[in-house]
Structure 1
């Protein structure tokens, strides 16, 4: 994941990140409210050894004072010191209950000892901090002399520097610090989940994914557009911001092989619902609009859609022609758009694979390709073998993949199937590409400017031409009979 991807991920999930940050802060605050209210007080003093009369004695005493200060810091949190504090203050608590409340630090540059004590009230914290300073000297002297109450004055003493004062506020619970920690934790966890999901995601989300999986070029990226999800699949010319993407696809398809321009193209996908029929219908319409005679064949004999899309009578079509009941050219319908003809699926047969893989089907396509650019809307590759059979005797296949839906493994399997039947993969169409949101990371949200192309004259002409679509007519009087 690049820095740019990270930024786009943050922008796409900005409200999720904000929500997790706030939730983390609130949870930590709630947890902190259960902590006891404690106060901390600090006292400090200078460790002195004897009375020096010469510079040499002063240097020696300073070194000894440094060693004593380190010893005192160690003794502060021990049980003997706690016992002495309980005795000095007359507390009615066991020593072990307060032993862990003391801590100390040493500043070796001036031999200063700083003692901190924690109490449940400001007064308790202050008294404990002051008492510890005196108690630690007593305990140290007992350890050095081995006497409980030595008669001689101690050689080492702590000169009070700053007695403990009453703390103005408790140091815990610290709601501000807890909120900051919770916010950072919530934000970090949200990022970890989002980035983890992105890294383990096996769905096709970019042209790079497609090219790595199939080894074929991406001929077009079609953004999500509401009109493409309607019954007419955008063939009325209302493609919106997808219009320019389809034109780019049409152009790229023409230049796949300039010397041997494909005349028989199978449009298929990995699974149903990826938009192959939508792509096939609109590519056929736009190619026809450019002046090339096109025949769009509904070769999906399991779930035909062409008749519904173009609002034509699809009761008689390809299956009757393959069965020999009618001549195939008699069931070709004029779409009402210039240069675009349609061949509906007809009655759904019990044996689609046998019909589509038959020699008669191959002969039909070969014959029709002399007069038309034949585009076959075929079933998905993975569930059934129909598309593989068709692509074997066509010039190539156009594979439609749905961004954010098709798995990389499914894309790889499609390529293997086409290779096994000796078909040529002309290219891939990445369909339903999100234009915003988290899934738009791979595409950069760059489709917004395409909306301006919806006013092209060609699109307007297509809308006008569609006014006669649905009133398609057969080229010859239909004669149904066994040939």
Structure 2
């Protein structure tokens, strides 16, 4: 993940990140309210050894004082020191209960010992801090002499420097610190989940991922548009932002092989629901509008969609022609769109694969491609073999992949299937590309990042009127039509 991806991820999930940050802060504050109120007091003193009369003695005493200070800092939080403090202050608590309230540190540059103590009241904290300093010296002498009550005065002493004072406010609970820690923790956890989710996501989310999986170029990226989700799949009315995307697909399809321009293409997908019928219907319409005679064949004999999309009678069609009941040209429907003809699927047969893979089907395609640019709306590649069989008869296949739905492994499997039947993958159409939001980060902020197609505002304002398809009429074309 690049820095740019991280920035786009932040922009896409900004409200989720803010929510997790606030939630983390609130949870930590709530947890902190359950903590006891404690005060902290600090006292300090200088560690001195004996009375030096010469510079040499002073240097030796200083080194010994440094060692003693380190020892004292270690003894501060021990149980013997706590016992001495309990005895000196006359406390009615076990020494083990207060031993953990003390801590000590040493400043070796001046041999200073600093003692911190905590208590439930300001007075208790102050008294404990002052009592610990004297208790440490007593316990240290007992350890060195081995006597519980040494008779001689201690060689080492602590000269009070700053006695503990009453603390003005408790150091815990610290709501500000807790809120900061909770906010940082919530934000970090949110980022970790989002980044991990993005890294382990195996769905197609970018043109680069499609090209790496299939080894074919992306000929078009179709944005997600409400008009394409309706029953007519966008063949009626304005396509909005998808209109220019389909025009770009039409252009790229023409230039995919300038020397051998394809005349027969199969439009398929990995699985159902990726929009292959929508893509085939709209690319057929746009190519027809450009002046090219187009024949759209509904070759999905399992779940035909073209007749319902264009609102034509699909009772008789391809299956009857393949069975020899009618001439294939007799069941071609001239739509109300100029240059666009339709060949519905007809009755759903029990053996779709055998019909589509037959020699008669190949002859139909070869014959019709002389008069039309033939587009076959085929079933998905992975569940059934129909699309693979059809693509072997054609100039190539156009693979439709749904952004955020199709898995990378599924794209790779589609390519293997087409290679096995000797078919050519003309390119890939990335369909249902999010315009904005979290999933749009793979497209640099979605289609709105392209300036809202500002160059085409005038064209959109004119609302080019697409003619609606009617019931159509069946027309027998002369076999010698040029």
Question: Which TM-score bucket, shorter chain as reference?
Answer: over 0.9
Question: Following TM superposition, where does structure 1 have runs of at least 4 consecutive aligned residues deviating by more than 4 angstroms?
Answer: 457-462
DSSP 3-state at the match of 1:240:
coil
Other-structure match for 2:459: 456
CA 1:393–1:266 in 2, change beyond 3 Å: closer, same or farther?
same
Structure 1 window deviating more from structure 2 (264-273 vs 352-361): it is 352-361
Residues 252-331 of structure 1: matches in 2 within 5 Å? 252-331=252-331
Task: Tell me if the contact between 1:242 and 1:450 (Cα under 8 Å) persists in the aligned partners.
Answer: no
Alpha-carbon contact 1:401-1:429 (below 8 Å) kept = yes
Instruction: Name the residue aligned to 2:217.
Output: 217
Question: Residue 243 of structure 1 contacts residue 454 of structure 1 at CA under 8 Å; is this kept in 2?
Answer: no
Does residue 199 of structure 1 match 2:199?
A: yes
- Write the mapping of 1:93-172 to structure 2, written as runs, cut at 5 A: 93-172=93-172
Q: Using a 3 Å threshold, how does the CA distance of structure 1 residues 327 and 263 change in structure 2: closer, same or farther? A: same
Say yes or no: does 1:354 pair with 2:357: no
| Cα offsets for 1:348-389 (capped at 9, x unmatched) | 222211211111111111111001000000111111111111
**Comparing 451-460 and 179-188, the one that deviates more:** 451-460
Cα deviation for residue 171 of structure 1 reads 1.5
| TM-score normalised over the length of structure 2 | 0.95
- What is the root-mean-square deviation of aligned Cα atoms in Å? 1.7
* Inter-partner Cα distance in structure 2 for 1:458 and 1:122: 75
- 1:370-381 mapped onto 2 (5 Å cutoff): 370-381=370-381
Closer/same/farther in 2, CA of residues 413 and 343 from structure 1, 3 Å limit: same
Distance 1:460 1:44, change over 3 A: closer
Contact kept? 2:45, 2:162, Cα under 8 Å: yes
Query: Secondary structure of 2:125's partner?
Result: helix
What secondary structure is seen at the aligned counterpart in 2 of 1:277?
helix
Partners of 2:405 and 2:199 in 1: CA distance? 16
How big is the shift at 1:473?
2.0
Cα contact 1:207–1:218 (8 A) shared by 2:
yes
Cα separation, 2, equivalents of 1:73 and 1:20: 42
Residues 137-172 of structure 1 show CA distances to partners (whole Å, capped at 9, x for unaligned) of 112222233333333332221111111111112112
Between 1:454-463 and 1:323-332, the stretch displaced more is 454-463
Match of 1:238 in 2: 238
Is the Cα contact below 8 Å between 2:295 and 2:342 reproduced in 1?
yes
Q: Which runs of 5+ in 1 are unaligned?
A: 478-483
TM-score by length of structure 1 reads 0.94
Contact 2:8–2:445 (8 Å) recurs in 1: no
Aligned partner of 2:480 in structure 1 is none
Number of aligned residue pairs:
474
CA offset at residue 61 of structure 1? 2.2
**Equivalent residue number for residue 480 of structure 1:** none
Q: What secondary structure is seen at the aligned counterpart in 1 of 2:473?
A: coil
**SS of 1:98's equivalent?**
helix
Deviations 1:287-336 (A, max 9, x none): 11111111111111111111111111212211121122221111111111
Distance of 1:198 and 1:106 partners within structure 2: 50
- Residue 181 of structure 1 corresponds to 181
> 2:66–2:108: 8 Å Cα contact kept in structure 1?
yes
